[in-house]
Amino acid sequence: APGLYLVATPIGNLGDITRRAETVLTLADLVVCEDRRVTSRLLRHLGLSRPLGLYHEHNAEAARPELLARLEAGGSVALVSDAGTPAVSDPGYKLVREAVRRGIRVHPIPGPSAALAALVASGLPTDRFLFQGFLPPRSSARRRVLEELATVRATLLLFEAPHRLAETLADAAAVLGDRPAVIARELTKLHEELRPGTLGSLAAAYATAGTPKGEIVIVVAPPEAPAVVEDDAAVDRLLAAALRTKRPR
C-alpha cells in the first residue's frame, strides 16, 4: 500500500527485527536509510537486496522534497535509521510532519527502541517518564536543561555518548540531587549491562574506571515525593518553622 513506513530496526541483536519490518523492507518501492553500510548489513542478514536511498542529518533538506513527491505520486517509502525507531533522536520528524500536512498516509512499524528497552529493565518507575534524549554537550547548557527537568515528577530517560558519561552524571547529580539511577549499556548485545546506583556514586565510579564502551541510556528516578503531613501537630510545627524562616530582617 502507498505511504511512508517508519520501520524500527534492531538496536543490537538482529533477531529483534519484526516480521512486519521484514515484509515492508521487501515490498516498499524505496528503502531510505541513514547509512548504506549499516542498512546493507541488516538487509544482507535478511537475505534481501534493495536499492537504498539516503536520508540523514546532512541531506535531509535536499532529499525531503523528492521523497514527498514520490509519496504524493502514490509510492511507498520505508524509512529506517541506523538502529531503533526512526524519528526518535534520529532523522524523520520533519519528513513525517510534511507527510501528515499533505495527507500522505504514515504507517508506524513499531519495534526496538533503546529508551523504552532501558526504562522497562531499569526497575525504576514506568508509570510516568520523560524522554530527554541527548543533553547539550557543553556543561553550562546541559545544566540549564537539567534545571528545567529538576521538578518533573517522572523517570527521566537520557542518551549519552560514553566519553561524556561521567561528566553528565556529575552534572545531573549536582542539579537533580543524588537520585537513584541505572546505566543501561549495550542493550540486546553481547556485553549488555544494567548497572544500578545513584547519580553521584555512578559519576564517581565512571570517573575512576574511565570511558565505558558501547551505547548508553541513563535512567534517572523521579524526585522523592514531598513528605505527607499526617496530623495537626505536624502542620503546626511546619507552619511555625516556615514563619521563623520568613521573619523580616
Interacting residues toward ligand SAM by CB under 6 A: 11-12, 81, 83-85, 88-90, 113-114, 159, 184-189, 215-217
d(CA 49, CA 137): 38
d(CA 72, CA 113): 29
CB atoms within 10 A of CB 89: 16
Grid cell at residue 147: 534545571
The angle at the Cα of 159, spanning 39 to 214, to the nearest 5 degrees, equals 60
How remote is the C-alpha of 57 from its chain's centroid?
17
Closest CB 18 distance from ligand SAM, rounded Å? 14
Side-chain half-sphere of 81: how many Cα atoms within 13 Å?
24
Closest of 211, 214, 164, 210 to residue 186, by C-alpha: 214
Q: Which residues contact 184 (CB under 8 A, 6 or more apart)?
A: 114, 117, 118, 121, 122, 193, 194, 216, 217, 218, 219
**Closer CB to ligand SAM, residue 83 or residue 146?**
83
d(CA 154, CA 133): 15
